[in-house]
A = this chain, B = another copy of it.
Amino acid sequence: MKKYRKQPYDVANIRRLLEPGPVVLVSSAWQGRTNIMTMGWHMMIGFTPALFGCYIDESNHSYDMVVSSGECVINLPTADLLEQVIGIGNCSGANTDKFSLFGLTALPGEEVAAPLIAECYASFECRLADAKPNPNHPLFVWEVVRAHVATTPRLPKTLHYRGDGEFMVSGREIATLERYPNQRR
């Protein structure tokens, strides 16, 4: 698997990668163990600070790890990681070392103890801003405190889950700023 060479990236711009709705890999660390989960239920919540919201069901092994550590890394896999994305989403960190099983490389973060995944196009280091912002739903609000993004290709081919084992792969890009120069951000 290819490891992407990454550059520091302005956290205020991470929506350029996350807002289109790709499947992400959430990595975490707690008490000497790491884990990874596949996640499709997330959204942007703010630019500055860079806030990212997501749903992590309590049945996931990662739930306790991110609640206990108050940290995670949101990693953006490209379409060539399809098998890893499916595999990671269908086994449990309770009895599996997912980095080892799926041949992924854990890299140290700068701000958090949770590991970055070297084979992903981008990695966003997150600190918990709000755990369970709504008592009725296992929702999390994260502040992205550091972003690492590959410089090539300019934009990644990402996987977007539809359920029932079906994925949409990101397609063509349309730039409209020239035609509509006064667009809101």
Contacts and interface: CB of A to CB of B under 8 A. Distances in A.
A22 interface: yes
Contact size range, A: 35 or more
Contact of A19 (B17, B82, B141, B162): B162
Q: Which of A41, A43, A184 has the most CB of B within 10 A?
A: A43
A137 B53 CA distance: 10
Contacts of A177: 164-166
A155 B20 CA distance: 17
Contact of A172 (B41, B136, B165, B171): B171
Given A53-B43, A130-B134, A139-B53, A19 B16 contact: no
Nearest to A51: B137
Nearest to A135: B133
Given A41-B44, A139-B45, A183 B160 contact: no
A82 B90 CA distance: 36
B164 A174 contact: no
B180 A86 contact: yes
A145 B167 CA distance: 26
Interface in A118-164: 130, 133-137, 139, 141, 155, 157, 159-164
5 contacts: A19-B40, A134-B134, A155-B162, A157-B171, A163-B185
Interface of A: 13, 15-17, 19-22, 40-46, 51, 53-55, 82, 86, 89-90, 130, 133-137, 139, 141, 155, 157, 159-178, 180, 182-185
Given A20-B21, A168-B171, 12 more contacts: A13-B163, A19-B160, A41-B43, A43-B53, A43-B55, A53-B53, A133-B135, A139-B139, A165-B183, A167-B173, A168-B173, A171-B171
